[in-house]
Amino acid sequence: MEPIIFAFAGKGGVGKTSLSAAFIRALTARFPDKKLLAVDADPAVGLLTALGAEPELTLDDVRMKIAESIDRGDTADAVALLGEARFHLLDCILERGNLSVLAIGRPEAAGCYCKVNAYLKQVLETVAGNYDFVVIDGEAGIEQINRRVMETVTALVLVSDGSRKGVQVIKTICAVASRLMSPKKTGVVFNRVSPAFDPEKIEDLPPVLALIGDDKNQTENDMRGDTVFSLPPDAPVLAGAEKALTTLLEGTPYALI
């Protein structure tokens, strides 16, 4: 059976990583006998902190060498490194029970990562089949969508706050994804919105999966540097994740309703 892949995208600072982590917590609790891969594909590396995971090796440790070779024009060296990188892939995956974590890492130098993003796409395609669920916390904006890094996903989860800019970003991502990706489902989660927020007043939105209000538990959790597993069960971000997850799993092999 093919894995169920959730990819999260949206404007920076809207709580995309927190929601990704909440999905991971919900999935590991609901399906303790299934294998789950969490992919931190955001250079900000927030998902690692949210999960309390610190892999000794990230894909960026490998891709930085490739990028440096590309910048120098050493095409042959870059090709050799790409081949060698496949052997280091398993070393980049940290396993904790039924949860595995793959970190992309934070780039430490400027430069074009077009070819490296293509490698990241190959990595995701290679490892996804070993798991029942994959949760990808993508980088902010549309770059990875444009590069087709997350080309084949089961559900594209767009995260936004109630701001005009946040909404515009998810609309742009949705438009680009409709041309370059093939998600079976697409939905929006609005995070940190007021009780008066009404998504029905916004035109041309994908289905709204959940509305999450201000979450003091999540804010305090972040300030303390605690993981998502430290949140109380009634935390709004967890309730929103559960609601969105239930909707997305309808009609899949893991249908809950």
* Strands laid side by side in the 93-96 sheet: 93-96, 99-103, 36-41, 133-138, 4-10, 155-160, 185-190, 208-211
At 183, list the tokens.
């998600």
Token pair in block for residue 13: 């600072």
Q: What is the CATH number of the domain that holds 195?
A: 3.40.50.300
pLDDT tens-digit map of 34-92 = 999 998 887 666 898 899 988 777 777 766 666 666 667 666 665 666 566 566 677 77
Token pair listed for 92:
């980049």
Domain annotation covers residue 256:
no
**Percent of the chain surpassing pLDDT 70:** 75
Question: Total structural domains in the chain?
Answer: 1
Structure tokens at 37: 């891969």
Residue 109 has pLDDT above 80, yes or no: no
Residue 254 counted as domain residue: no
* Arithmetic mean of pLDDT, 96-116: 68
Q: Is residue 236 part of a domain?
A: yes
In this structure, is residue 255 part of a structural domain? no
Query: Which of 17-26, 115-124, 184-193, 245-254 has the lowest average pLDDT?
Result: 115-124
Q: Which residue has the higher pLDDT, 146 or 27?
A: 27
What is the pLDDT, as a whole number, of residue 70?
Answer: 64
- The residue range of the domain holding 238 is 4-249
257 domain-assigned: no
**Other C-beta atoms within 10 Å of 89: how many?**
16
How distant, in Å, are the alpha carbons of 17, 88, 207, 225, 234 from that of 9? 9, 27, 15, 23, 25
pTM, two decimal places:
0.85
Is residue 113 in some structural domain? Answer: yes
Q: What is the pLDDT of residue 14?
A: 92
Which of 21-30, 139-148, 177-186 is predicted most confidently?
A: 21-30
